[in-house]
Chains A and B, each alone.
Chain A
Amino acid sequence: MTTFREFREEHDADEGLVLDTIPTAARDFQGERAGFFTRLIAAVIDVVIVGGIIFGIWIAVWLFLLVFNPLVDYGMPRPGYFALGGYIIMWIYWSWGWATSGRSVGQHLMGVRVVDREGRRPGWKLATVRSLFCVVFQVGILWIIVSPANRSVQDVVLRTSAIHDWSGDFTSGDYSSRTRIPPGTAEGKTP
């Protein structure tokens, strides 16, 4: 058990008071760029969610048309429409998520947050561009595997990062204030 004095000295050496809700085992890698699987799972969750949204829209449109034109059978729309709608909604969904909270639902569940080059929440412009880039060039995520800094093609081009952030702080625009471990002092810190 650490004494209060030790605790206080440690916190004075750090960034000050930090109330940490993150599991102890996960604290060391908070703020680090997330790896491939973490982000892939987050992306898959997002895709499933958007798929659900598309499906929901289709059902809604179908019901709407059924009400007004019950006798006409429109049949299934071509898959291309679904794909196009999916791309557009994915774009909007990711842009909105990253610009407002830095994370989509999938990323929230996986504890990932998108930040700009300064470690802050990306603005609307950056979020929109990155989102479009991700939608158009999905295989960019594969670059994480090769990149020693866990960066996708989108990250490399736009200088963004997707970092581990398990805190429940959904609205914070500034991750940097929550960095617990200052550079160079990672050793000697008991988890």
Chain B
Amino acid sequence: MVSRPYQSEGDVRTLAADLLASTMGLMVYSTQTVWALSEATARAIVGSTLDRIVPLLTEAIVSRLNLTEVVLRNVDLHAVVTAALDELDLTQIVVDRVDVDQIVAKADIDAVVDRVPMLQIADYIIEEIDLPQIIRESTGGIAMDAFTTTRFSAVKSDEVLSKIVGTLMFRRKDQERELRVESDAQTDSSVEAPQTDEASR
């Protein structure tokens, strides 16, 4: 593109309008520049001044205050801590950062063991693996086995007999059998006292 010298094309009115517009533009531009420059300068001055003053001032203020007490008095620490804990995945942090093995190595295991219901655990294990049955099977032999069988058959026969007698004597089926012994006698008739719901037996 080839520039060409300005050629007046119009009349004086046009010329005046052009002149006015360019003057306005120049003014706006220079104003903006000045504003920006002064703002930057002011910011720098204020910043450096504050950098010097604020630490001194803060130091002076803080040294005159019991900050801990102020915080304790005015801050809802519970809310702050709760909010902080809500933000954090504490378990994950502990898992990531805490050497659990080392803590366990230093822990007083005896104290823990003292709190563990050892006998109940032992009983539970015995019950679950049915240790008595294992012992019976391994040591009982034929004689003990025979007596267990005899006991069971006698109990079965007793049940059958009591059923037959119950039918013959027109006993109600849901009648209490009163088969248990009251352990602490409160009344004279305590032995007679019904204790169980073994009617269906």
B191-A117 in contact (CB<8A): yes
- A residues 155-191 near B (Cβ < 8 Å) are 159, 161, 163-164, 166, 175-176, 179, 181, 183-184, 186-187
Minimum-distance CB pairs A-B, first 10: A35-B158, A176-B183, A32-B179, A38-B154, A149-B178, A37-B157, A21-B132, A119-B181, A119-B183, A7-B124
Answer whether A25 and B152 are a contact pair too, CB < 8 Å, given A4-B121, A4-B124, A187-B197: yes
Answer whether A22 and B152 are a contact pair too, CB < 8 Å, given A31-B181, A33-B179, A149-B177: no
Answer whether A159 and B197 are a contact pair too, CB < 8 Å, given A20-B132, A119-B181: no
B181-A29 in contact (CB<8A): no
Q: Does B182 contact A (CB under 8 A)?
A: yes
What mask results when residues 27 to 62 of chain B are scored 1 for a CB within 8 Å of chain A, else 0?
000000000000000000000000000000000000
Given the complex, which residues of A lie within 8 Å of B180, measured CB to CB?
Answer: 31-33, 183
Q: Does A133 contact B (CB under 8 A)?
A: no
Spell out A's residues near B (CB within 8 Å). Answer: 1-2, 4, 7-8, 11, 17-26, 29, 31-38, 41, 109-111, 115, 117-119, 145-146, 148-150, 159, 161, 163-164, 166, 175-176, 179, 181, 183-184, 186-187
Given the complex, which residues of A lie within 8 Å of B159, measured CB to CB?
Answer: 35
A111-B127 in contact (CB<8A): no
Most chain B beta carbons < 10 A, residue from A34, A111, A148: A148
- B residues 129-153 near A (Cβ < 8 Å) are 130, 132-133, 135-136, 147-148, 150-152
* CB-CB nearest in chain B for A176: B183
- B residues 100-140 near A (Cβ < 8 Å) are 117, 119-121, 123-124, 126-128, 130, 132-133, 135-136
Spell out B's residues near A (CB within 8 Å). Answer: 117, 119-121, 123-124, 126-128, 130, 132-133, 135-136, 147-148, 150-152, 154-155, 157-159, 161-162, 165-166, 169, 171, 175, 177-185, 190-192, 195-198, 201
